[in-house]
Amino acid sequence: MVKIALEALASCSGCEISILDLHEDLVKLLDQAEIVYAPIIMDVKEVPEDIDIAIVSGSVRNAENKERLEELREKSKYLIAYGTCACYGGITGMADLYTSEEVTSRTYTDNPSTEPAELPNEVVPELLSIVHPAADFTFIDGFIPGCPPKEQLTHDILIPLINDEAPDVPKKSVCADCQREMEHVEFDKIHRRIEGDPDPGKCFLSQGYVCLGSVTLGRCGALCTSAGIPCHGCGGPALDVLREPSHDIYNGVIKRISHLSKMPEKDVEKQLYDIGHVIYGFVIGSTTMEDKQVSLIPQLVKK
């Protein structure tokens, strides 16, 4: 039996839920694999030795997250960073837009429903100065981005891994799965996502909406765009964005809008709004993205 461990670091537990969303398939999987550690569903309190596959979700936000990650590395043969938080810092990484003092002050001293009080100051929490993806601290054998990864993908990856085979994973962007039609339309205005009434058959970018489908890894089946909502980039950067130093999420989107609309790139840039939340919402904590010469992340992050 293959021994599997599940651990959520600083996260929402959605990744663990996505594994439970294998539903009946999870039962079949349990014929071949045994879950030996997973606090969300079982009472084993210590991380056991000799784990075959450890699946870690969430970002590393504090010393305890870091210790737990390192303990799992030590005790497991194969360590998977599962979900966009573990791979790129995820949405929790947006905390890097503000200082920790600003955040705690908002909670305890400057909050409309809270009696102003000192921070729970009898403990000095060992807060890491920024949000980290798992690979900042330890060797990761496999990355499965997605917020959360789709259950079918988990199925297609876990089964081969359990059988000691290499999984075959899709490598295309969200656009590859999107049914909307991309076309050239001249326009001179970028819309907020709530403005107007987007045509359900046409590419969001072609209509002047910021959609990250072309720069996002597409293992989700383009669910948001088919639900009438532009891609928010929760799957993490597309492979070409990761591989090419001059290609970034931000300039990728600008180039694409400019190309489709004939708006000069400078005009597109001027009209883009809320870049931290709309463009980089899921990757601000990622050193990979931050190190790019063309990335705006270093400017957005005040450290």
Partner 1 sequence: MKNIEISPVSRIEGHAKITVQVDDSGNVADAHFHVMEIRGFEKFLEGAAVEEAPRITPRICGICQTAHHLAAAKATDMVFGLEVPETAKKLRELMLLGQYIHSHSLHFYFLGAPDLVLGPESDPALRNVVGILKSNPDLAMMAIKTRKIGQMITGVVGGKPISPVTAIPGGQSRGITSEQQADLLAQSKEAITLIEQGVEVAKPLFEQYAEAIQSLGPVESHFGGITKGGTIEFYDGPAKIIDKSGNQVYEFAAADYLDYIEEKVQPWSYLKFPYLKQIGFPDGNYRVGPLARLNVIDTIPTEKAGALYGEYKDKYGVAQNALLYHYARLIELMYAAERAVQLLEDDSITGTDLRQHLSEPLMTKDEAKESSETRRGVGMIEATRGILIHDYETDAAGFINRANLIVSTGQNNLSMDIGVRETAKQMIHGEDVAEGLKNQLEMIVRAYDPCLSCATHAIDGSSPLEVDIYDSEGQLLKKHLL
Distance of alpha carbon 235 from alpha carbon 218, whole angstroms: 7
Which residues inside 7-66 make contact with partner 1, applying CB under 8 A?
A: 8, 10-18, 20-21, 23-24, 26-27, 30, 35, 39-45, 61-64
Inter-CA distances, 64 with 10, 39, 60, 86, Å: 10, 15, 8, 15
Query: Considering the complex, what minimum distance in angstroms separates the CB of residue 123 from partner 1?
Result: 5
Which residues inside 145-164 make contact with partner 1, applying CB under 8 A?
A: 147-148
Which residue reads 């089964």 in tokens? 159
Stretches 110-118, 156-164, 245-253, 255-263: which one binds partner 1 (CB under 8 A)? 110-118
Do the beta carbons of residue 52 and residue 78 sit within 8 Å? Answer: yes
Which residues inside 112-141 make contact with partner 1, applying CB under 8 A?
A: 112-115, 117-128
Distance of alpha carbon 239 from alpha carbon 197, whole angstroms: 31
**Structure token pair of residue 270:** 């001027």
Pattern of binders to partner 1 over 186-225, x per CB under 8 A?
------xxxxxx----------------------x--xx-
Distance of alpha carbon 233 from alpha carbon 215, whole angstroms: 8
| CA-wise closest residue to 144 among 55, 249, 41 | 55
Distance of alpha carbon 213 from alpha carbon 200, whole angstroms: 15
Pattern of binders to partner 1 over 66-85, x per CB under 8 A?
--------------------
Stretches 95-103, 133-141, 180-188, 245-253: which one binds partner 1 (CB under 8 A)? 95-103
Query: Considering the complex, what minimum distance in angstroms separates the CB of residue 194 from partner 1?
Result: 4
